[in-house]
Amino acid sequence: MILRAFRLLAFGALISVAELAAGQARVVFTVDATGPTTTISPHIYGVNGGLRPSGLRSIRVGGNRYSGYNWETNHSNAGSDYFHSSDLHLVKGLGPDTPPGEAIRPKMVEAAELGASLVVTVPMAGHVAADIKGNVLETETAPSPRWRAVEARKSSVYPGSELSLTPDESDGYVFTDELVNWVEQTRSPEQTVFYSLGNEPALWDGTHPRLYGTTNPTFAEIGRKSISHASAIKAIAPDALVLGGVTYGWGAMVNLGGAADFDRRVPAPRATPGLHFNRWLLKTLAAEENKRGRPLVEVLDFHWYPEARGGGVRVTFDGVLDNRPEVVAARLQAPRSLWDPSYTEASWITKASTRGEPIRLLRRVQSDIDELKPGAKMAITEYNYGGGNHISGALAQADVLGILGREGVFMAHWWPIERHGDRDFIRAGFEVFTDFDGRGGRFGEASLPTTNSDVEAASVYASQSASRPGEVILVALNKAPHPLEAEVRMTGRATYRAAEVFRLTDSEAALRRVGSLGMGRGNTLRYEMPPYSASTIRLTSAQEGAAE
């Protein structure tokens, strides 16, 4: 195919774009710069660990280890992840006499330095590690001397006792309100801290059988513990937001992984199938809050490791670094299951659970929230779409961030599955939004309405910032293995004069400035997107340019 394509006249100069020959793949985006906006939460740009992209806005202290973390001594238990070992893994390199909370404090300091929020996991399974003697035998399952009991309030065991920043390490108990008091007394005054009620409770009987036991948790137990620990948190930090649910994925959202009482709870909603546990928890928490006259749990949290498969291989976990074409194709389409009512992925979920219907996860959950606990927020505090060593990982990561912002999700944190040397494209995917120019340039805080003529081949997201009202930031993703001619139609009263382009391709895991595009007639921009690429485009209006 012969193309009369744009040519870069000089770095930073105007790129002229001519018409492309007939047959070139084409996509049309429209951006309504005066339409209703959705506020983009800064907390969606978050991670758990193993990655520090520029512009990070949230850090989570969580995961399986924190289900058995004793903040008084920094002892923790690995559960079935590593021989049920109780040790000092969370404070590696430090001795046994570390001060309380040392598995939390460094991340607290780092978050404060970055201006990022912090999520602290509150153990809720019932026990935490009592020692660092290594493997816990089945005969030492809690309750036993290898464990300390977790109670929500210190006063339930020691009436009238004050909370301590250096609690008694040998009394057999660890208290949630005492942990929260330590966090509140230790954090920077201006720092935002959220509290998470445990971690993946539906898996406790599998990940932590020595700590919890081997019987699957029930709806009733998780509801009771959530209310008890949330009320203890609020007694110390009444203004802190609390995350509840913290489910591992679809199976837990539906029935808590097979809870004995799941089918006697809230009837299935009109959607097929209903996310039964989510609905039950929302209804239960709303009723308790109405009774108490104050909020307990403001955020419904769930984890999402996509089950989508390409060529029979899952895009993450076993296929996390599998970049064969069929896996790449599935990875690039998988984010659509977060929202798209026209997309049905290939997975056990759509085969056995939704019966061929799209997952549309965020919109399904939002519908339940609107019905049962209006005003509650959504969080996805663990997710990973794979491909950290490949451009497909960057594009999937960027696509997810765009969707989270557009759909109004409150908080999200990427979880590391890839090895340290295989995460560079994930970092680049973040920086498409959080530092596209290497100088702190980031996507705005207000999502603008867009349309897209081909959601399979491409994605587009648009934003504005109150600090620069004459500027629009676009993120355009080409998910196809061939170039796409994009036509961007800007609607609204402003006239845009130029578009500065920063681009990410498979050549390196970094964005590069490639120049500027001139606007065409009718506030239209024409741009050829390279195969498998992300482009962050800074549009400047004539009014904004005149003010500079």
- Report how far apart the first and last C-alpha atoms of the chain are (Å, whole number): 42
In the residue annotation, 200 being an active-site residue is answered as yes
Per DSSP, the three-state class of 448 is: coil
Per DSSP, the three-state class of 385 is: coil
Q: Which residues are bridge partners to 115 per DSSP?
A: none
Which of 132, 143, 130, 121 shows the shortest CA–CA distance to 66? 121
Helix (DSSP H) and strand (DSSP E) numbers for the chain: 12, 29
Give the separation between CA 426 and CA 327, rounded to whole angstroms. Answer: 17
Strand (E) positions, 392-457?
Answer: 411-414, 446-447, 450-452
CA distances, 464 to each of 96, 283, 410, 470, 473 (Å): 50, 36, 18, 8, 6
CA distances, 293 to each of 145, 225, 230, 240, 280 (Å): 40, 19, 14, 16, 20
- Neighbouring CB atoms inside 10 A of 544's CB total 18
Quickly tell me which residue has 């019987």 as its tokens. 215
With the CA atoms of 60, 61, 66 and 72 taken in that order, what torsion angle do they form, in degrees rounded to the nearest 10?
-150
The 8-class DSSP code of residue 80 comes to G
Residues 6 or more apart whose Cβ sits within 8 Å of residue 494: 33, 470, 523, 541, 542, 543
Instruction: Find the catalytic residue in 151, 178, 200, 407.
Output: 200
Q: Which residues are bridge partners to 534 per DSSP?
A: 477, 504
Give the separation between CA 473 and CA 238, rounded to whole angstroms. Answer: 37
Which of 350, 351, 378, 383 shows the shortest CA–CA distance to 362? 378
CA distances, 27 to each of 4, 24, 222 (Å): 18, 10, 47
Which of 116, 144, 118 shows the shortest CA–CA distance to 131? 144
Angle (CA) 287-291-296 rounded to 5° is 70
What is the DSSP pairing of strand 458-465 with strand 446-447? antiparallel
Q: Buried b vs exposed e over 348-387: b needs ≥16 C-beta within 10 Å?
A: ebbeebbeeebbbbbebbbbbbeebbeebbbbbbbbbbbb
With the CA atoms of 5, 6, 7 and 9 taken in that order, what torsion angle do they form, in degrees rounded to the nearest 10?
160
Residues 6 or more apart whose Cβ sits within 8 Å of residue 63: 48, 121, 199, 382, 415
Please give the positions annotated as active site.
Answer: 200
